Amino acid sequence: MKVGIIGATGYGGLELIRLLHSHQEVQTIQLFTSSEEGVSLSTKYPHLTKLYDAPLEKITKQAIEQLSIVFLGTPSGVSGQLIPNIYNENTIFIDLSGDLRLKNSADYEKWYGKKTAPEDLLAKSVYGLCSWNNDAIRSAKLIANPGCYPTAVLLSLLPLLKTNLISHEGLIIDAKSGVSGSGNKPSQLTHYAETTDATTVYKINKHQHIPEIEQAIKSCTGTVEPITFTTHLVPMVRGIITTSYAKLSPGVTAADLHKAFTDTYSDDPFIRFMPDVATLSTKQVKGTNFCDITFNVDDRTNRVTIVAVIDNLVKGAAGQAIQNMNLIMGFNEKAGLQAVPLFI
């Protein structure tokens, strides 16, 4: 099968290359650029020497039409305008950006501060939250791959929200990410001198993933209340950890929560429910498509603390995008995604 990557020079693109390279169903990976046509990716990234030396290609409708799948790892505001120009019935589009996730275009313009994608594109797009939307994913032509933070938050909260074991009201979610989450464009926030030896809170009550999380909670459980969601940048390259605090519904015990997680995920290839662990670390999922989840009930407050870890570039981006491809194409869901975590 022939696949393509638009935005191949970005961090999401590089991670797609790394994972697709060992996918047994993928024979050719075409790499596209908007700014460095003719340049070899291995010139820019020497670790790809003797692997990806061919010149980067210009994005054209004719080239995209030849591909079974095209991934877009482009900054927000790009794919919503680009896809209408290259859309065709032969190719499946998987967008890693936030452009097609929010069904309400006013929400996109408010939270992203950018022009929304056309309504017909939004109507066609399927939210690619694997494990929760697999039936719709299997027949999709256009996938809105979930955001990195929403993936960890939703996978860890939906089993309890859907069964009404925790209250929808007063949910508080504290999230922390490594610096690769902000892509390969340097900024003041990600400058080494300011990120190393520091933890920084950012986008307080303004993060663009707030409406995405609320939309998915509504769609999976039928109801939603506003969430409090706070993001932090921590001095590591990869990884996300989310810690959520929820009020238990009357009479609910730890055993009920345990059952909800095992009922939902015991057969899941990538979600590892880990009750009774003393620690949970981003390292234990590094380089993989795993999402590890644990919880602890505080009897003093009648609250439960729910923790999830993912690799932002894999389960939070390229890995989940490939899992979506596998579901659509009817491949083994784990194809290309079987690596053991890079723990040390």
Ligand X SMILES: NC(=O)C1=CN([C@@H]2O[C@H](COP(=O)(O)OP(=O)(O)OC[C@H]3O[C@@H](n4cnc5c(N)ncnc54)[C@H](OP(=O)(O)O)[C@@H]3O)[C@@H](O)[C@H]2O)C=CC1
Ligand Y SMILES: CC(=O)N[C@@H](CCC(=O)OP(=O)(O)O)C(=O)O
Residues carrying an active site annotation: 148
Does 184 participate in binding ligand X (rule CB under 6 A)?
A: yes
Q: What are phi and psi of 282, to 5 degrees?
A: -60, -25
* Span near ligand Y by CB under 6 A; candidates 174-182, 193-201, 319-327, 328-336: 174-182
Q: Which of residues 83-122 bind ligand Y (CB under 6 A)?
A: 97-98
Tokens of 249: 């519904």
Does 76 participate in binding ligand Y (rule CB under 6 A)?
A: yes
Does 181 participate in binding ligand Y (rule CB under 6 A)?
A: yes
> What contacts 193, CB < 8 A, 6 or more positions away?
none
Does 35 participate in binding ligand X (rule CB under 6 A)?
A: yes
CA 123 from centre of chain: 20
> What contacts 254, CB < 8 A, 6 or more positions away?
295, 297, 304
Tokens of 164: 């009404």
Position with the least CB separation from ligand X: 10
* Span near ligand Y by CB under 6 A; candidates 37-45, 102-110, 176-184, 302-310: 176-184
Q: Which is nearer to ligand Y, 77 or 159 (CB)?
A: 77
Does 9 participate in binding ligand Y (rule CB under 6 A)?
A: no
From the list ligand Y, ligand X, none, which binds 12 (C-beta under 5 to 8 Å, kind-based)? ligand X
Question: CA quadruple 112, 116, 119, 123: dihedral positive or negative?
Answer: negative
> What contacts 248, CB < 8 A, 6 or more positions away?
165, 166, 167, 297, 302, 303, 304
Half-sphere exposure of 99 (CA within 13 A, CB side): 29
Q: Which of residues 42-101 bind ligand X (CB under 6 A)?
A: 73-76, 78, 82, 96-97
CA 107 from centre of chain: 19
Given 6, 78, 86, 148, the residue binding ligand Y (CB under 6 A): 148
Name the helix (H) or strand (E) containing 262: helix 254-265
Per-residue string for binding with ligand X, 249-288, x by CB under 6 A? Answer: ----------------------------------------
Query: What whole-number distance in Å separates Cα of residue 95 and Cα of residue 93?
Result: 6
Q: Which is nearer to ligand X, 57 or 256 (CB)?
A: 57
Smallest separation (angstroms) from ligand Y to the CB of 226: 19
Query: Would you call 131 exposed, middle or buried from its count of C-beta atoms within 10 A (0-12, 13-18, 19+)?
Result: buried
Residue 246 forms beta bridges with which residues? 304
Does 10 participate in binding ligand X (rule CB under 6 A)?
A: yes
From the list ligand Y, ligand X, none, which binds 36 (C-beta under 5 to 8 Å, kind-based)? ligand X
Half-sphere exposure of 54 (CA within 13 A, CB side): 10
Q: Which is nearer to ligand X, 148 or 257 (CB)?
A: 148
Where do we find the tokens 């609320």? 214
3-state DSSP assignment of residue 245: strand
Q: Which is nearer to ligand Y, 52 or 98 (CB)?
A: 98
Chain residues in the site for ligand X (CB under 6 A):
6-7, 9-13, 33-36, 73-76, 78, 82, 96-97, 147-148, 180-181, 183-185, 312-313, 316-317
Chain residues in the site for ligand Y (CB under 6 A):
76, 97-98, 147-148, 177, 181-182, 208, 231, 233
